[in-house]
Structure 1
Amino acid sequence: MDKLTLAVVSRNYFNMPAWLGLHAGLFAAEGIDLTIDHIEGIEEVNDRVRDGRAQLAYGVTEHVILDAETGGRQVIIGGNVNRLPFSLVARPGIEGIEGLRGKRIGVSSLRAGSSSLVMKMLAAHGLHHPDDYEIIPCGPILARWELLRSGGIDAGLQGAPLNHIALDQGFVSLAEPRQDFQFTSLDVDAGWAASHRDLVLRFLRGFLRAHERFFTDRDLTREVAVKESGIEPRYADRAWEEYVQAEIFPRDGEASAAGVQNLIETSALIRDLPSRARTRAEDYIDRSWLAEARASL
């Protein structure tokens, strides 16, 4: 068995295809002993690919773009969260996005991730950072949920199933963004991949089978979600229904050109990258890997 490490962001539902592939033995069937490292700091996920502690990542896609703009070699070889799965959840008593004026908004990081989305969403309602609200970098979804419950922040993006849990506990949803947006993706160092071609292709065969299994096996998906994240079965089912109906995960495993393009354009509104070398989504995606893996199934 060949060992591989996949770095992922926290223990949230975004990891479901990898969890499913691991529990269903889809990677083991390809001779791969897969370790999934759950990382709380979103910057560290892609950092681990860069320094070799992980070979692959379900990383925040904006980090791939920022890495490329500074001469890095990371590339997107598959999709993950291709469409936004979030609710902008606020504490009770806040009415509408306009009600966030003067409030504290939790984001994963100031450098990338949910901060660009939050800034764009609030700007559409006349609220601009830093004059009209405060941004609190607090880490990924689970950390934002804890701070929202404790009063450390007034609002933040929450994905399924935590958005459903929050609403059932009396919190309110101010928006439900569902547009194409490559929030996270399957990323790899292009140089490492080129020198480990057979291993990457074997991983991708398991990856493709895991995506198909997610869409066709609700019962196993529920079981794995409960084991890995500790959520109640009813919330696992609600998350599965939302992800399937909206095709938040890509059934074919592919990254979304429209989603990456929306990310580039949103990031450009917030991040000052005067020397940006690439402007097209496909400049960051290498589809040859999945094409070859799919042909060998």
Structure 2
Amino acid sequence: MPPLSPSPSFPSSPSTRDSVVAALRAAGCVFAEDEAELILDAARTPEELAALVDRRAAGVPLEVVVGWAEFRGLRITVEPGVFVPRRRTEFLVEQALAQVPDASVVVDLCCGSGAVGAALARALGPVELHAADLDPAAVRCARRNIDGHVHQGDLFDALPDDLRGRIDILAANVPYVPTDQVDLLPAEARDHEPLSALDGGPDGLDTLRRVAAEAPQWLAPGGCVLVETSERQAPTALDAFATGGLRTRLAVSEELYANVVMGVRGLDQ
């Protein structure tokens, strides 16, 4: 996965930039100036620029409009209908690297675009990297972002059986929005991202519990599983991993509003 770099675009004048900013601001884009620069960089012709501005003004996520998202210095391809990687998830990557800095087998479960797997592989160097998602669109997108094995299927059912007991880092960015709160999400997520990547069931933790129940048999000794939750959900998530016999830890980033729950398999297990 290449590092972030500019795309070729057509020369634009200050008046063009001003008109793009004005259109985005009128559509309610809070960071209209910053978004205008990205859209101008993505457009190769005046006609394409107009189409991109219209899509953004209609509420399509900026990352889908320009076709990529920045994630830990990488340019991650983002396709329509695929979960957009959040900057707060960079904290999950940091926690994984701190826990197992010499990991050689990495799995990005519920991978979406594959941003987490791509970032881990770039930081670790040569690794055996696997990613999996239930959504065919996510699998197609992840295959563009990951230099590794991308599988389609339901959680662990998608993984090769020979990974059992060998995974050093299992990053599972599971859905964790309670069902009755999905309608409260910003329209960009609610209307343009797959429901399966957002809705985590009645309390938001249905998928997390499934991961916690199976993760211990897939982790290598000393391996860890990491998930994001909300602050309110964290105690229940910690209990789920502890029930499976894993050592648990909660890491919090106030700057990124991120809560990462980690379960670690003991070296003697």
TM-score between both structures, scaled by the size of structure 2: 0.29
Q: Which has the larger radius of gyration?
A: 2
TM-score, normalisation: structure 1: 0.27
